[in-house]
Amino acid sequence: MQRAHLRPASVAEVRSQWRARVLPTLHGTVLDVGAGDGSSRTHLPADASVTLLEPHATSARRLERLAARSAGVRVLPAPAESIPLPAASVDTAICCLVLCSVMDQDLALEEIRRVLRPGGRLFVLEHVAARPGSWACRGQRLIAPVSRRFDRGCDPARDTEAALRRSGLRVVDLRRLDAAGPMGVRIPHLEGVLARPDRAPSASESA
């Protein structure tokens, strides 16, 4: 008996399902990195204090209008590489399809780690580079110069998993999944949770 192959969910479906499943569980002070159109805000609890970080001026102005109608929401028109917040001031950060387009992944993750409180968590859903040497990876590298230019710096060939693992954040959960793209192309994604360590590692632990 031949087993049916199920079509993976589309990128929009994967993003919508992630937001509906993860974001309602977040409370306290929440930093939405690269907030875009503010869609994540509608899934966050009403008691959350939300900061929408958005470097693009047009999107930030739209978010300002959203914030004016929502209690506990503010907008910071700034890039992820330079977050204008005090250290250890955020309970939770979220990155949804944004680390592909930041100027410097390592610096952005360093800033996210800085503003998280000890034990604070980063929730991510990102499209990522395919396995090295695969046809999908070659295709990503081929279209990367075009997407970087015309899609707000988006680079589909970035090894975001490696950046997350070297960020100094502790990996709680990190897993890959595929989403359906144009013409049946499967687009690799990474979903996960990372946490700022409660303390700095000792000399023996870091050796």
Is residue 15 situated within a structural domain?
yes
Is residue 205 situated within a structural domain?
no
Is residue 103 situated within a structural domain?
yes
Cβ-proximal residues to 143 (8 Å cutoff; 6+ apart), any chain: 156
Q: Are strands 170-180 and 186-195 parallel, antiparallel or unpaired?
A: antiparallel
Is residue 153 situated within a structural domain?
yes
Is residue 83 situated within a structural domain?
yes
Q: Number of folded domains in the chain?
A: 1
Q: Which domain holds residue 33?
A: 11-196
pTM (two decimals): 0.85
pLDDT score, position 143: 59
pLDDT score, position 2: 41
Is residue 204 situated within a structural domain?
no
> What is the CATH classification number for the domain harbouring 20?
3.40.50.150
Dist CA 172 CA 194 (whole Å)? 5
pLDDT score, position 12: 86
pLDDT score, position 9: 87
Torsion of CA 174, 176, 181, 186, to 10 degrees: 170
Q: What's the 3-state SS for 94-115?
A: EEECCCCCCCCHHHHHHHHHHH
pLDDT score, position 203: 42
Is residue 203 situated within a structural domain?
no
Strand order in the sheet with 116-127: 73-76, 49-53, 29-33, 90-96, 116-127, 186-195, 170-180
pLDDT score, position 200: 52
Is residue 6 situated within a structural domain?
no
pLDDT score, position 35: 94
> Taking the chain (207 residues) in consecutive chunks of 10 residues, what is each chunk's mean pLDDT?
58 91 96 93 93 94 91 94 97 94 94 98 87 63 58 70 96 91 77 88 39
